[in-house]
Structure 1
Amino acid sequence: MGYDEGLVARIRSLLTGEPGLTEKRMFGGLAFLLDGHMALAASGSGGLMVRVPPDRVPELLTRPGASPMVMRGRELAGWLRVTGEPDVDDLDGPDLAGWVAEGVAFVHTLPPKK
């Protein structure tokens, strides 16, 4: 399964004008990096991967559709997987904007990669 092109288009529109933005195909999906740090990605297995402060993970897991990001059987610290509810368009509207803002805000706290 490839990543959702509609989701990618919505993410791009939310990131318009963001300095240091690059895109890179990773893990079967399309990652969005700011100053070299991956902030989020349209996952190749569906949904969204979002980088967040590790200490906020418990709080953010209470949001609809959020779960720990697991790769190769291991939970990734500071990463969440977000999927849409079955009765709602996948990650549409303000929920997506909020998740994108979470990933962007966190990577802005990191020093630029060289």
Structure 2
Amino acid sequence: MRALLAADGIEERRMFGSRVFLQDGKILVGARKGGVLLLRVDAEHGAELLLRPGVSRARMGGSGMSANWLDVSPEALRSDDELVAWLDIAREDLPAA
């Protein structure tokens, strides 16, 4: 993921016990334990994405996060093409500045 995002000028930081990648100061995605992708999306789009295999509402510290945050399991990220597709979704749904 780092290699795919580095060329786009994305900033990487350690936050929430994960590696997160920020675009224009906003969290785009995060790399969580176990190969899970933390994805920031528009809440309405998130409801649709939850229907896909391997996607669940993100949880932090035992509590569910808002509808803007999804976890994508490693099973849904088996290829670079699948990862790129999820990264594109996060870019499209990133809130405007």
1:94 pairs with one of 75, 81, 88: 81
Give the TM-score, by structure 2 length: 0.84
Q: Is the 8 A contact 1:27 1:43 kept in 2?
A: no
For the pair 1:22 / 2:8, whether they are aligned, the reply is no
For the pair 1:55 / 2:44, whether they are aligned, the reply is yes
Secondary structure class of the residue paired with 1:18: coil
Gaps of at least 5 residues in structure 2 are none
* Structure index of larger Rg: 1
**Partner in structure 1 of residue 72 of structure 2:** 82
Gaps of at least 5 residues in structure 1 are 1-10
Query: What is the Cα deviation at residue 97 of structure 1?
Result: 0.8
Secondary structure class of the residue paired with 1:80: strand
Query: What is the Cα deviation at residue 46 of structure 1?
Result: 3.5
| AA at the equivalent of 1:110 | A
How many pairs are equivalent?
96
Query: What is the Cα deviation at residue 44 of structure 1?
Result: 3.0
CA distance 1:62–1:76, shift in 2 (3 Å): same
| AA at the equivalent of 1:18 | D
Query: Where is the helix percentage greater, Structure 1 or Structure 2?
Result: 2
**Partner in structure 2 of residue 5 of structure 1:** none
Q: Distance in 2 between matches of 1:64 and 1:96?
A: 14
Secondary structure class of the residue paired with 1:63: coil
Q: Distance in 2 between matches of 1:63 and 1:51?
A: 16
Secondary structure class of the residue paired with 2:57: strand
Structure 1 stretches of 4+ with a deviation exceeding 3 A read none
